[in-house]
Amino acid sequence: MQYRKFGNTGMNVSTLGFGCMRLPMHEINGKRVVDKDKSNEMIKKAYELGVNYFDTAFFYCDQDSEVAVGQGVKAFRDKIYVATKIPLGDEVQKASDYRAMLEKQLKKLDMDYIDCYHFWGINKGGFDDKILRLDLLSEARKAKEEGLIKHISFSYHGNPDDLPYIIEKAEVLESMLIQYNLLDRSNEKGIEYAASKGLGVVAMGPVGGGRLAAPADLYQKVSGKESTSTYELALRFVLGNPNISCALSGMQKMSEVENNAAVMSSNEPFTEAENKKIIQQMEDLKKFSDLYCTGCRYCMPCVSDIDIPHLFYMYTMYNVYGLTDLAKDMYRRYNKERTDKNKGGFVKDCIECGACETKCPQSIEIREKLKLVHETLS
C-alpha cells in the first residue's frame, strides 16, 4: 500500500480509503442492519492490506454504518484514521445542535474522538445558511480544542466555482472530500486550489460509484494495453493527480477490498504526464464520434429546459467509451428526476425552435441528435 501526506494535518493516509456507505446488509427482526460479521472481516482485511483511512457518516447503511465501523476498527483504533460527517438538515437548527450530534456520533462509534469530522455535503447556499449563520465553525473549534475531533473537514457537492469562496471564508478547514474521477473532472481546479491552501484532499467516486468497475474496452482504448477491469484505470488515474492524497472506494464485498488493495499495491499511480496523455486520448476518441460535443454549453439555456450537453455526455459514455450500462442508467435517472419533480426537460419536450443550433460552435444538428440519444439510451 502506498501512503501520502494529507495536507497540513500531519497525517499520512493510505492511497486507498475504505468508504463505508455500502457495507453488506441483512435483516434482523424486520430491520435492515449491517451484517457485522461480514463487515468486521472486510474492515480487518483492509487494515491488514494497509488501508488506514475509513470513512462513514450518520445516515449510511440505514444509520448503522457508524456502529459497524466502530466495532470493526476497535482492535486497531489507534493505528488508523476514522472520518465521519455531521448532517446539516433538520438535525442542526441551532449552534448547540453541533455538539449534540457530535456526542451522538461518538457514542455510535464507541470512540473518544473522530479524526476528520466533516460538514456533510455542503454547497455555497448551505455553507452560508447553516455554517456561517449559526457560527458552526466556532463550535468545531471548541470540539477540536477539547480533543473530540482532530481535524475540521467538509464534503463538497456544490458548484466547482464556489469552492475557493468556502475555503477562504473558513480558514479552519483542514481536509476535503470531493467528487473526482476519470469521467468527471469538473472539480479539478478546486482540488488544486484546496491543496495549495494546505488541505488534505480525498476523492470520492473514483470508480463512479462502481459504474467504472465493470470490464470494458475503455482501458484498451486509452492505454493501448489488453482490456481489463476499468476500475484499475480509474483508480490509477485519480491518484495520478498529485493534489489528491486518497481515493475513497465504497466496498461491499471482500473481493472488492482485495482487488482494490491489489491495484494500489502492485501498480504505481499514473504520473501527471500520463494523466494528461489519457485525458488527451479520451478527447481524441470523442472526435471520432458521430456526436462530438465539447460540453461548452453555448447551446444553453434551452427554452424547454432540456440539458443538452448532459444528454450528449451520456451518449459519449455509450458510443465512445463503451460504458453502455452507465449511459443507460444515467438516462433513466435523468428522466426519473424530472418525473419526480414534475418538471420538463425531456427530449420529447423539444419544440424544434433551433435556437441551440445557431449557437453551437461544432455545428451539431442538435434537434436530430437529441432524438438519437433517446432512441439509443431509452
Per residue in 220-250, pLDDT (tens digit) is 666 666 545 667 778 888 888 999 999 998 8
Q: With contact defined as beta carbons under 8 Å apart, do 318 and 328 qualify?
A: yes
Q: Could you tell me which CATH class the domain 3-270 is placed in?
A: alpha beta
The full 3-state SS of the chain, as one line of letters, equals CCEEECCCCCCEEECEEEECCCCCEEEECCEEEECHHHHHHHHHHHHHCCCCEEECCCCHHHHCHHHHHHHHHHHHHHHCEEEEEECCCCCCCCCHHHHHHHHHHHHHHCCCCEEEEEEEEECHHHHHHHHHCCCHHHHHHHHHHCCCEEEEEEEECCCHHHHHHHHHHCCCCCEEEEECECCECCCHHHHHHHHHCCCEEEEECCCHHHCCCCECCHHHHHHCCCCCEHHHHHHHHHCCCCCCCEEEEECCCHHHHHHHHHHHHHCCCCCHHHHHHHHHHHHHHHHCCCCCCCCCCCCCCCCCCCCHHHHHHHHHHHHCCCCHHHHHHHHHHHHHHHHHCCCCCCHHHCCCCCHHHHHCCCCCCHHHHHHHHHHHHC
Place of cell 501520502: 4
Residue 112 confidence class, pLDDT cut points 50, 70, 90 = very high
Strands 16-19 and 3-5: unpaired
Gap between the Cα atoms of 262 and 153, Å rounded: 29
Gap between the Cα atoms of 195 and 217, Å rounded: 33
Domain ranges, ordered by start, for the chain: 3-270, 289-377
Instruction: Assess whether pLDDT exceeds 60 at residue 101.
Output: yes
Instruction: Assess whether pLDDT exceeds 90 at residue 176.
Output: yes
Cell of 179: 467528487
How high is the pLDDT of residue 224?
Answer: 63
pTM tops 0.95: no
Gap between the Cα atoms of 24 and 166, Å rounded: 35
Residue 218 confidence class, pLDDT cut points 50, 70, 90 = low
Gap between the Cα atoms of 240 and 247, Å rounded: 11
Q: Which residue has the higher pLDDT, 182 or 204?
A: 204
Gap between the Cα atoms of 260 and 251, Å rounded: 9
CB within 8 Å of 213: residues ≥ 6 apart: 207, 229, 230, 231, 234, 256
Q: Which residue has the higher pLDDT, 267 or 22?
A: 22
